[in-house]
Amino acid sequence: MKKSEVPQDKSALENFTREVCYVKNEDGQYDTELSTGWEAKKVALDEAWKEIERRTSDAREQIKKGAASPILYFMEEKLMDFTVLSGYTGIWKFRIKRHLKPNAFKRLSDSVLKRYADAFEISVHELKNFKA
């Protein structure tokens, strides 16, 4: 890529930083240039976020139908997979999978709920009374 061809598109990097790109200068030597972003990858990131929103609203539907517990919603909202949630809560993955079921969730003690709530950065009250 030539220095003059470095894209300077609007992106989520705005007000955060510009990124260093390795490019060829006019003499054909390597040099660096700062870029504000590239549209091709901006769309990739935007699409990834749309997918997260879609998964989060799917989780809402599941909870409304009584097919999942609020843990599923907050997992999606916080972009967590089982490894990440297990790491933050100290609860084994297979137990988390069980807690995704509404009946198992209803029987959880406040101390277990507190571990989930802390991982999601919400209160136990919010977790218990989540309205999908």
Partner 1 sequence: MSEFIHHQTAHCENGVTMSLLQHHGVDFITEPLAFGMGSGLFYIHIPFMTVNNGPAISFRTMPGAIFKRTCKALDVKVERKKFKDPKEATRFLDEKIAQGIKVGCQVGVFHLPYFPKEYRFHFNAHNLIVFGKEGDRYLVSDPVMEITTSLSTEELERVRFAKGALAPKGHIYYPVEVGEITQEQVRRAIAKGIKRNCRDMLKIPGSIAGVKGIVYTSKKIRGWREKLGPRQAGLHLGQIVRMQEEIGTGGGGFRFLYAAFLEEAAVIMQNEELARISETMTKAGDLWRDSALQMSGIYKGRLTEQKDFDACADLLVEISAVEKQAFQELAKIKF
Contact range with partner 1 by CB under 8 A, out of 42-50, 65-73, 94-102, 105-113: 42-50
Which one among 23, 104, 112, 124 touches partner 1, defined by CB under 8 A?
Answer: 23
**4: contact with partner 1 by CB under 8 A:** no
Contact range with partner 1 by CB under 8 A, out of 38-46, 64-72, 95-103, 106-114: 38-46
Neighbours of 4 (CB within 10 A): 10
Q: Give the shortest CB-7-to-partner 1 separation in angstroms.
A: 10
Rounded to an integer, what distance in angstroms lies between the CA atom of residue 113 and that of residue 88?
13
CB 103 within 8 A of CB 73: no
Rounded to an integer, what distance in angstroms lies between the CA atom of residue 128 and that of residue 17?
39
CA atoms within 13 A on the CB side of 121: 4
The site for partner 1 (CB under 8 A) is made up of 1, 12-13, 15-24, 29-30, 32, 34, 38-41, 43-45, 47-49, 51, 55, 79-81, 83-84, 86-88
